[in-house]
Amino acid sequence: MKTTPTHFYTLTGNLLAERTLTFRDWAPGRTQRARSESLQVGGKGINVSRMLRGLGLPSTILCFAGGASGAECVERLRAEGLDFRAFPSASATRCGTVVRGGEFSETTFLGPDTSPGAACADACAAFLDAQPGGLLAICGSLPGWEDSGFDRLREALDRWLGRGTLVADTYGPPLSWLAQRPLALVKINRTEFDGLFPGPERSGPVAGRLDTLRRSLPPRAWVVTDGPGPVHIADEAGRAAEFMPPRAREVSATGAGDVLLACIIEAHWNRGIPLAEAVESALPRAAAHAAQTSFLPAGPSG
């Protein structure tokens, strides 16, 4: 493990301006009025930074924001007192709506993903290049990742590996790219983990497949979650561990993985606790969040 990082950053490549509408009761196919409305700024990295602050570990949020929805997000982040750098996006920040209340389960509607554009990605790359190092967590999706407009950002991340710590909780093309680099940690869920294997191999035991990944790919450590199922770990020394999350009455799993990652970062890189112990200690907090018993201010993932 590298020396303790002096600063912590999260990168949210797919910011979300999300409104929650709460109803006494509602049903599809008719007009109805909400009892209340609230705006949240969403994105996995946003949630991770919120939780890090709650744990007493300040971090800097890096995000892409555009249009009126992006301006709303910037103002809300400022009002929360979070440290952030919002790079201007060529496209408006995506919007979403959460509907709560009545007999139906909480339902989320998300707008389409859009690439922030090359100028936005370049500005983020320039900011990273100007930093001396630290721990950077790449969180959530990054629309446009495979475009040439992301070339400078990908190059900046490669340079970051030479002077800092890089962890990832992402999926799709960014995960495929990052998994080919010596990351300090890849934290993914079972679906994303299975996607790293050809179809016929996806039914094999997780522990065995995780050992195969650790031996064949550069990341030094892995954490694979599976909702209420077992969490599998392969640490920097190749030691494997498996934990069952505490049983909880799940209200919403949204954000629970972000709580888990933040707690791991704080325990492992800030306090030097071994990875397996850091994960084990983080699981009750993630389960509590899924049961909606606080630990993280309300905010969606993305």
Distance (Å, whole) CA 44 – CA 261: 10
Distance (Å, whole) CA 285 – CA 16: 24
Distance (Å, whole) CA 38 – CA 59: 25
Distance (Å, whole) CA 81 – CA 156: 28
Q: Which residues of 134-170 are buried (b: 16+ CB within 10 A; e: fewer)?
A: bbbbbbbbbbbbeeebbebbbebbeebeeebbbbbbb
Q: Residue 298: what pLDDT?
A: 39
Distance (Å, whole) CA 302 – CA 42: 7
Distance (Å, whole) CA 40 – CA 254: 13
- CATH topology for 8-14+44-85+116-290 is UDP-N-acetylmuramoyl-L-alanine:D-glutamate ligase (3.40.1190)
- Within 10 Å of residue 75's Cβ, how many Cβ atoms? 12
Residue 167, beta-bridge partner list: 137, 185
**With contact defined as beta carbons under 8 Å apart, do 196 and 179 qualify?**
yes
**With contact defined as beta carbons under 8 Å apart, do 238 and 201 qualify?**
no
**With contact defined as beta carbons under 8 Å apart, do 113 and 94 qualify?**
yes
Model pTM? 0.91
Q: Map residue 39 onto helix, strand or coil.
A: strand
Q: Map residue 114 onto helix, strand or coil.
A: coil
Strands lying side by side in the sheet with 94-100: 36-42, 16-22, 94-100, 107-110
For the stretch 219-222, contacts whose Cβ atoms lie closer than 8 Å and that sit 24 or more positions apart, written own/partner, are 219/178, 219/179, 219/181, 219/182, 219/183, 219/184, 219/185, 219/186, 220/182, 220/183, 220/184, 220/185, 221/184, 221/185, 221/186, 221/275, 222/185, 222/186, 222/187, 222/188
Please state the domain extents for the chain. Answer: 8-14+44-85+116-290
The segments of the chain whose pLDDT lies below 70 read 1-3, 248-254, 290-302
Residues 225, 214, 238, 12: is their CA dihedral positive or negative?
negative
Q: Cα dist. 141→84, 211, 273 in Å? A: 18, 25, 28
